[in-house]
Structure 1
Amino acid sequence: MVRNHYGYGLLLCLVLSQPAYAQTDDGTAAFAKRDYRSALLNWQPRADQGDATAQYGLGRLYFFGLGVPPDSKQGIFWFRKAADQNNPYAERRLGLVYSVGEDDVAPDPEQANIWFQKAVAGLSKVAEDGDVMAQYLLGGMYSDGEGAEPDAAKANFWFQKAMGSFREQAEQGTTSAQYWLGQMYLNGQGVSRDVDQAIIWLSKAAEQGDLGAQLCLGEIYTYAQYDRKDSDMAIKWLTKAAEQGDPGAQKRLSAVYAERAHPADASASAYWYRRATDTEASSAAKDSPSEAVKPINLPFSSKN
């Protein structure tokens, strides 16, 4: 689990980049393109038929409100379905749910630990086969003590494995690898924290149109804790993200303009705030599930 992220951009870029198990299906391809409606239409019938990959994917859509109104109960329902089939990513997600609580699911450290332990075992198998996202997540779990005692040596081992794969792919121009390599430098995972290196790799991904990287750069240049506060650079990257239609980027961009308090910036601030409002209204209308993809309304509690 990645820690120490600040603001909307860094949160959303992680949501957009969450790993998917068995990344070979059309639903996952649609999800990677942020075509959440297509992912939903692909995953829903397969999930109903017991496909664990589709169940995990569907859980992500509902849990994070991607292509559908946010519904954590539905998300948890599908995570459990996938976890019951030993999907390690779903097992980890349930561990996170029980560790902090969600809606009517009370925090339950014992249940969280059970699911984290299952996730560590499952992720270890695919990580040993070269799954880079499993390697990355294992690094975070050993670092944070999720499903095992905190173990800096094991965390570093898996982070180093992941970083090697990310670097190789990033140097070949793979956008997602550039993003994750930047994140590892930003968070000091498997390497000493290096904001300059983080910016280099995130910029490469952002220049290729990666929304998450654009949002992350906007946050880096907005907040003082990164020691790179620069409103012009924040505006540059947030504008690119805002122009992709992301309402959070539009609101953040509006706030950056407002904070500068220049007369010429006031109209820009108002413009982007209106754009964000219009985007959210449009998205709310478009994201209402059709009759063909209604969620399954089954109860969920921490006991079942």
Structure 2
Amino acid sequence: MRKFLSGLLGGITPAARFRHACRLLEHEGRSAQGFALLGRLARGGMVAAQYQVARAYLDGNGVPRSPVEGVRWMHVAACAGHVEACFSLALMLLVDPPGRGGDHRGADGLLPVAWPEGIDQWPDPAAATGWARQAAEGGLPDAQALYGYLLATGPQSVRDPQAARMWCERAAQAGCPQGDLGLAVTHFAASGQMPGSDPDAVAALIRAAESGLPTAQYMLGLLHDRGWGLPLDMAQAEQWYARAAVQGVRPAQARYGALLLKDGDGRPRNAMTAETWLRRAALAGDREAAALLGDLHVHGEAALPGDHEAMIWYRRAAAQDHAVACRMLALLYMHGRGAAADPVQARHWLERAAELGDVAAMTDLAASLVARGREACSAPDARLPDFMPAARAGDPVAAFNLAVCLHDGVGGVTDPAQAASWMERAARAGVVNAEYWYGRMLLKGDGVTADPDQARRWLERAAGHGLAEACVAAAQLRLEGLGGPRDHAGALALYHRAARMGRVEAMFSLGAMYGGGHDLPPDRTQALHWFTQGAEGGNALSQFMLGRYLARGLAGPVDRARARYWLEQAAAGGVRAARDELDHMTHADEHAP
């Protein structure tokens, strides 16, 4: 009987044994038996069995999982011309080896030394392209789409835009959604074309998105978001981003979260849901999402807001060279929020933000460098961001910062003429601080020929934009009639504007103007008011004048105790006349009857 059964089984064709083995492999409880039979067929040279053995090793089906053996058998089957094996090997060679880890072996045990003969490196997009070509030529639509994609976006050595389009069209005609996606990608990857400018590519992308491909859904959301080839439609963009986000597309999660932070058509802002999606994207490595999470925590809009959390997310984004995140991290360190105040860390991140082109960081850094003075900024450890490229490219704020650094010798180079030239560019571009600086340089002949008329024009322009320092300077020119006619009423108005913005020198000037001697009716009550305001603000000249008014009763009752107090404050502030006034009061008190 045993001999009879053996002869019967021996008469079964290899194809029948293969089908039987595949059925056993899929049967729970008999998969090991199926794998054993497939193994014998594979070792005997059956290519289809070799492919199935490879899949079994990779999936751990009927045998303990072994990526090493799975890749080896997949390579054997591919070398024998198995179309699906060629396609699978191409896909594997486009990503890291299965389970690569920090120990250079990987959690799944695929050692580089165990790569099959013929695989020289991993990943290897060029080799993947070759295997995809074999599978594509074998008629596999998915492989045709992959091959077209690699010809459009792969290594320069394999690129062929015309062939890419042809293979993607062939895959799309076979009903493969990846072919439609490939058509869209080949268009977007083409140089010299705006995304969305090819109606056929947009139509292909819509078909791929509607078929459920998450990458296509994200790309379609992007077209609606930017108005590329489709009407600008944030509601549609949000819808497609959401569908792609659910399927795990990281940039879609980030964009969807960002849109949820804005009021949509008929939809209120939803910070809580936005935080959920941004967190997923950030944990997957999206720097924009991490920066937005930092913003939510800093502004108290997160579910459990906190500066410490803000610092964590900003640091994630900053580590990926997100310029704004670097600046925000600097501010947190500067003000001791989320961690102990650390000027060294604050300076480090501010410098990094400036190096990455953040204009606000450039401004803050330039101001801090100037505040430190020329000697400190010329120290070996002082680093200065290079404002020149941005200034030459037309960035007015960079031009202003470059001018400031050249004027004050920040970084060891002083060039007043170049400073004036760049300052004028920034002023003409509307940078208010540059208007003020350029006006002062014209007034003093600092790096440029002195021109009081132009100086007055620039200072008044800056004053008109609300810059307090410019209001004070322009008022002084009107008061003295320099660069134009005397205008005491106009000067008074400018001093009032500066005083409302807290400028104590303007408060002193108002007191002096109301005190008399100008083209205005004297008003000593107003003079006393403004001298008091200036004195309380720490202005030594105001303190001196207030003490004098109180000592002499120039705008009310004499108050010698308060007068002495303010005169002493003024004397401590360096006003010699205040000491003389105090001496006079002491002499008068000693000789009083």
TM-score, normalised with respect to structure 1: 0.49
TM-score, normalised with respect to structure 2: 0.28
The structure with higher relative contact order (CA 8 Å, sep 6+) is 1
Greater Rg over alpha carbons, structure: 2
